[in-house]
Structure 1
Amino acid sequence: MTTTRDKLEMVLARLAARAEDERVFMGLYPEAARAAADAADDRRLAGVSLGPLDGMLVSIKDLFDVAGEVTTAGSIVLRDAPPAAKDAAIVSRLRQAGAVILGKTGMVEFAFSGLGLNPNYGTPGNAVDPARIPGGSSSGAGVSVAEGTSEIAIGSDTGGSVRIPAAFNGVVGFKPTARRVPLDGAFPLAPSLDSIGPLARNVQHCALADAVMAGEEPHILDPYPLAGLRIGVPRGRLFAETEGMVEIAFEKTLGLLGRTGARIVDHDIDDLLRAMREATLHASIAAIEAAEIHADWLTTRAEDIDPRVHHWLVRSSAVPAHIYLRMMRRRRSLIEAMDRRLAVVDVLALPTTAITAPLMAPLEADEVLYNDADRLILRNTQMANQFDLTSVSLPLPHCERPVGLMLVARHGSDRRLLEIAAGIEALLAS
């Protein structure tokens, strides 16, 4: 029988062999992880368990506090910040559940992009094709699960930062309803939109991690019956510019679902998407809130910030307070309108991203191409954050490059969404 310590040592040996070019992990905790692994093995021998996460190898994004460590959030600006006084709330809960936290994974600076590039600490190559981007901002998280150096990775999702790397690397990524999981000890991007979610190779592992982080009892999912499932497809704005490979995989999946007896209907939300775009015309909610968080060093440490991140933060810092307040008031009414619109379907289904992971080098060399790709890649996922919804990305099988299927449901329906995802996951595996 393979022990937790055996699993851990295999991963640590693999990481040691590439230590001179490590870009997936920002830092490792080998001794603490070994102690946690040994404790998990001792409990197993004694017939004791702390729950289904006991002994699982977990990585955390480099924006979660670990006691005694500096939280850099992917930026050299924060390297000289004081060490964290205590673990982030989710780190503490994972430890209490017996998870073996082996290290922190890399991310986009301040979590401000869906592409995954970080010029300060290096960008991990996509797990399927290292010449392609990993997706962001939880870039290392997606790669670590896909390559097998983590069984579960914890990321954050403000506009798609869990689901995009999940889609690009061929794993599952879950974005819970905002504020379901406590944000204490997580360096913020935009507090109104931030969610903390897991990435894993299957829906069940995501559900277990989510429950632990939310302070709930972990449970085994009962896959939701697909016959009669009401699936809305929001064709229109969210399907423009879709890559052929993505479109083919998505339509094939709809065909599979239809043959199970699921009821698939077009479900228009374009009017609400337009209204949200008009409400955020001056700048995105994420950019405005991030500009306030980083105001103290936008000028004094400008040379230390990725220019692609710095540009948007500075631009958004000029938005007047009354514009932001009106924007947030309008958002509240649109959230209510979207909730009413989704009441007649069980889930929305659409591609997680309009395109598969593009090549990294052209994006690094061309700022216009970078911004265009970032916009397109974030387009589908950010809708769930803007309208305070819950969402999951599932990998679609038999694609030349990873393609994600995104399911979106009303806020608060997290458990039911995961059960629906488990049912669809089983169908895709059959």
Structure 2
Amino acid sequence: MSERTVPGTGHALLSRFHLGGSGPTVAIKDCIDIAGQPTCGGSAALADAPPAARHAEVVQRLLDDGWQITARANMHELAYGMTGINDWNGTAVNPQDATRMTGGSSSGSASAVGAGLVDLSIGSDTGGSIRLPAACCGVTGFKPSFGRVSRAGAYPVHSTLDCVGPFARSMDLIISAMASIAPGFDREAAQAPAADARVRLVTVQADADIAAAVQAAFAASGWRGTPWTSQHMQAAFEAGMTLINRETHAAFGHLLGRGKLGADIEKRLSAAATTSDAAVAHAEEVRAAFSTEVDAALADADALLLPTLPALPPTLEAIAQGASVLTLSSLVRPFNLSGHPALTIPVPIAGSPLKAGLQLVGRKGEDERICALGLHLEQVLRRHVTA
């Protein structure tokens, strides 16, 4: 057991403490400032960081509304990976299946919520880092519209992709958290009836059991759906990685060569240094094209509907033997590039104890409508389980 993690929490939590009131309990990802604590980004390279002088804005807003902040959550080193494997802090355990990866980079945030260690957690999502681990761990995770929730006090300091957002086991808590952390968030609109929604069913490649789970949940929702195929989604997936590489190297490239980064991060961050200006310019062209395409698809629909992940998370053993996880973010990362709000909801897989993730993507700034859709879907699925 790593000395840097709390015993009995499966490496999900790095420390336990208490700040705030008597409301629901919250864990904060290790790349978000808590006053008086170092923000280490899951990395030995930042272990000597000085304590934060002030709370990140999202932390202060939660405290102001009476939430209890009780823990610091583990993460993939420097938020630069999808597996959640962390050789320094230890790797958080997937509460759905301990043999499978938790997902990154907000691994501890998803694991802690799924295991019932906290009611809510706050993570960050640059290329799927809330939605991917939420889907792996069978919980709900929400990436708000880009800029809707302040990143002040979150790292890296500069990002054109990253969003701070909540994990929970219920939409009620997601909505309550958004009402606290997102200025102007309309709780009533987020709880409005959504049985008559119109959605675009996005054509994607996904394993048969995942596709069937998502289709069954859509059928139960009562929503009207029409198919939609993106022309730019694959390009957006690739462009998102180009910008992540450029921006992560700009933030953390100075840590290279010190012998304190994990081997994988050292290798990837070194390679990111070669990201060319031409590649970045092309990525921005793709961003504009994909954003316009998604805006057009949502002009007469409430949301896009698609799987969160195209397959179940691989086992840790398979990853150790070289299994690639790259395509697992193919359905989430594009919406970081475009900036649209995106929510993942756990849905049952027939004949399996595991749950898949169903993703809803909405119009920019209309986070409340996506939350209302998520609440409706959760209620419908709950009735089906108890019927």
By the TM > 0.5 criterion, same fold? yes
Partner of 1:93: 61
1:342-384 deviations in Å (ceiling 9; x for gaps): 2122111111101122211221342xx1xx22x1211111121
1:389-421 deviations in Å (ceiling 9; x for gaps): 111001113642121111111211101111111
Partner of 1:419: 372
Q: Distance in 1 between matches of 2:185 and 2:284?
A: 34
Q: Secondary structure at the match of 2:187?
A: coil
Q: CA deviation at 1:245?
A: 2.3
> Which among 91, 110, 115 is matched to residue 147 of structure 1?
115
Partner of 2:216: 252
- What residue identity is the alignment partner of 2:354? R
What is the root-mean-square deviation of aligned Cα atoms in Å? 2.1
Partner of 1:9: none
- Maintained 8 Å contact 2:6/2:14: no
Q: Secondary structure at the match of 2:58?
A: helix
- What residue identity is the alignment partner of 2:331? N
Q: CA deviation at 1:70?
A: 0.9
1:197-234 deviations in Å (ceiling 9; x for gaps): 1000111211111221113366254243323x211111
Q: Distance in 2 between matches of 1:138 and 1:413?
A: 24
Q: Which has the larger radius of gyration?
A: 1
- What residue identity is the alignment partner of 1:234? V
* Residues 19 and 94 (structure 1), Cα distance of their counterparts in 2 relative to 1, 3 Å cut: same
- Aligned positions of 1:32-181 closer than 5 A: 32-33=18-19, 36-37=20-21, 40=22, 55-181=23-149
* Residues 225 and 317 (structure 1), Cα distance of their counterparts in 2 relative to 1, 3 Å cut: same
- What residue identity is the alignment partner of 1:28? R
* Residues 103 and 336 (structure 1), Cα distance of their counterparts in 2 relative to 1, 3 Å cut: same
- Maintained 8 Å contact 1:112/1:189: no
Q: Secondary structure at the match of 2:333?
A: helix
> Which among 194, 207, 225 is matched to residue 225 of structure 1?
194
Q: CA deviation at 1:158?
A: 0.8
Q: Distance in 1 between matches of 2:137 and 2:11?
A: 15
* Residues 178 and 166 (structure 1), Cα distance of their counterparts in 2 relative to 1, 3 Å cut: same
What is the number of residues matched between the two proteins?
A: 376
Q: Secondary structure at the match of 2:342?
A: strand
> Which among 297, 304, 329 is matched to residue 348 of structure 1?
304
Partner of 1:290: 248
Q: Secondary structure at the match of 2:175?
A: helix
Partner of 1:359: 315
Q: Distance in 2 between matches of 1:268 and 1:86?
A: 45
Q: Distance in 2 between matches of 1:169 and 1:156?
A: 16
* Residues 277 and 124 (structure 1), Cα distance of their counterparts in 2 relative to 1, 3 Å cut: closer
Partner of 2:346: 395
- What residue identity is the alignment partner of 1:128? Q
> Which among 307, 310, 314 is matched to residue 270 of structure 2?
314
Structure 1 unpaired stretches of 5+: 1-16, 41-54
* Residues 403 and 189 (structure 1), Cα distance of their counterparts in 2 relative to 1, 3 Å cut: farther
Q: Distance in 2 between matches of 1:318 and 1:174?
A: 32
- What residue identity is the alignment partner of 1:117? I
> Which among 267, 288, 293 is matched to residue 228 of structure 2?
267
1:1-40 deviations in Å (ceiling 9; x for gaps): xxxxxxxxxxxxxxxx9727751101121xx34xx45xx3
Instruction: Out of 185-194 and 354-363, give the one that drifted further.
Output: 185-194
- Maintained 8 Å contact 1:158/1:190: no
* Residues 266 and 78 (structure 1), Cα distance of their counterparts in 2 relative to 1, 3 Å cut: same
Partner of 1:23: 11
Q: Distance in 2 between matches of 1:389 and 1:250?
A: 20
Q: Distance in 2 between matches of 1:194 and 1:338?
A: 19
Q: Distance in 2 between matches of 1:394 and 1:274?
A: 23
* Residues 420 and 212 (structure 1), Cα distance of their counterparts in 2 relative to 1, 3 Å cut: same
Q: Distance in 1 between matches of 2:123 and 2:374?
A: 19
Q: Secondary structure at the match of 1:393?
A: strand
- What residue identity is the alignment partner of 1:310? E
Q: CA deviation at 1:123?
A: 0.5
- Aligned positions of 1:328-343 closer than 5 A: 328-343=284-299
* Higher normalized helix content (fraction of residues): 1
Partner of 1:276: 236
| Identity rate, percent | 28
Structure 2 unpaired stretches of 5+: none
* Residues 246 and 217 (structure 1), Cα distance of their counterparts in 2 relative to 1, 3 Å cut: closer
- Aligned positions of 1:194-205 closer than 5 A: 194-205=162-173
Q: Distance in 2 between matches of 1:350 and 1:276?
A: 16
